[in-house]
Amino acid sequence: MKLPVKSLVSFKCVRKEWNNLISDPEFAERHFKYGQRAETLMITTPDVNHFKSINPIKSLHDESSYQSLSLSFLGHRHPKPCVQIKGSCRGFLLLESCRTLYLWNPSTGQNKMIQWSSNVSFITPGDSFLFCHGLGYDPRTKDYMVVVISFAEYDSPSHMECFSVKENAWIHIPLAADLHYKSCNLWNGRNLTGTFFSNALHWLVYKYEAYMHVVLAFDLVGRTFSEIHVPNEFEFYCLPHALNVFGESLCLCVMREMEQVETSIQIWELKQYTDHTSWTKTNTLIINDIWSGSALPVCNAENGCIVGSDPAGVLVKWNQDGEVEEQRSFDYIPDGYQVTAYRETLFTI
């Protein structure tokens, strides 16, 4: 049960009985619950036909920790395709390429193409609309859900659509009230990727009507929105930040300017999900040079190290004391890099 996913996948070819066992959805659930919980990193590359998976426990300079994964299933028909990661949940990645969505399990290779809903518009550089994307899972119905929310920063109607993998259809979700938020992340512009945790998707936004930052949460089971207040001492509009899941907690990572020549990254953990006053600072990561100056945490490795990245193609690893242990820079690409954490699973759709 504790064997790596890649080993189990290879064992399916040994005997028919093994294939039937490993392919059983109940076995996949048990392996997800009791098996290895280590996370893997997925990084986009200049070659749009391949991504790289990275074992974050090994050295960033150890070439054996990198594996090239083919994206041939995308079947690019555009002369200059761009692939973006829009979400991660239970081993699946949500990809967008040429205005088409794809669900992909890198561990098993399974994938599914999803055509955009005809009710979802596409933004252009001059638009004031904000898009929130996300991939989540409803344990009640055992259904993967692709969530797309579009809303303007000011008084304009909001629109929300969810794609049900089980129903293989887009579902319009009526909103009780229009959403009035704005992005506070300069890196992602007006496209925010949701963080899946505790059966809900989460986005860090600025609620301009109340002049405050909040974590906007959408519960996939109850189909309801709620807000999680951030620590009172934060005023980080336009400062680099990230919303992650480390271990069993939702975590907020924010760059802080301590002095003119010194900056650091604070990691705050929401100790009790239902108690918005339980934010606790658990770590401070040191930024000691220009290369690690814009990198934000992506995952917490099993050995206590934290690995982060920036869009310029720099990977940084901090040790347990928050000091930079190593870093690696990749070749520049115009559209920038994306690095996402996912857990290898046997799940299918």
- Distance of alpha carbon 265 from alpha carbon 349, whole angstroms: 37
Domain that holds residue 27: 1-36
As a whole number, mean pLDDT of residues 222-238 equals 80
- Distance of alpha carbon 256 from alpha carbon 234, whole angstroms: 9
pLDDT on residue 278 = 94
Instruction: Specify whether 25 is located in the same domain as 78.
Output: no
Instruction: Specify whether 63 is located in the same domain as 130.
Output: yes
**Digit-coded pLDDT (tens) for 304-320:** 899 999 888 889 999 99
**Digit-coded pLDDT (tens) for 71-123:** 999 887 666 678 889 999 999 999 998 888 999 999 999 999 999 887 765 54
Instruction: Specify whether 18 is located in the same domain as 97.
Output: no
Residue 128 placed within a domain: yes
Residue 349 placed within a domain: no
User: Structurally, how many domains does the chain consist of?
Assistant: 2
Instruction: Specify whether 122 is located in the same domain as 10.
Output: no
This prediction has a pTM of 0.90
Instruction: Specify whether 20 is located in the same domain as 61.
Output: no
Instruction: Specify whether 28 is located in the same domain as 57.
Output: no
pLDDT on residue 126 = 45
Residue 49 placed within a domain: yes
Q: Of the candidates 112, 104, 164, 172, which has an alpha carbon nearest to the alpha carbon of residue 136?
A: 164
Instruction: Specify whether 102 is located in the same domain as 226.
Output: yes
Q: CATH number of the domain that 205 lies in?
A: 2.120.10.80
Q: Of the candidates 94, 91, 169, 175, which has an alpha carbon nearest to the alpha carbon of residue 133?
A: 94
Instruction: Specify whether 279 is located in the same domain as 145.
Output: yes
Residue 348 placed within a domain: no
66 CB-contact burial (10 Å; exposed 0-12 / middle 13-18 / buried 19+): middle
Instruction: Specify whether 228 is located in the same domain as 283.
Output: yes
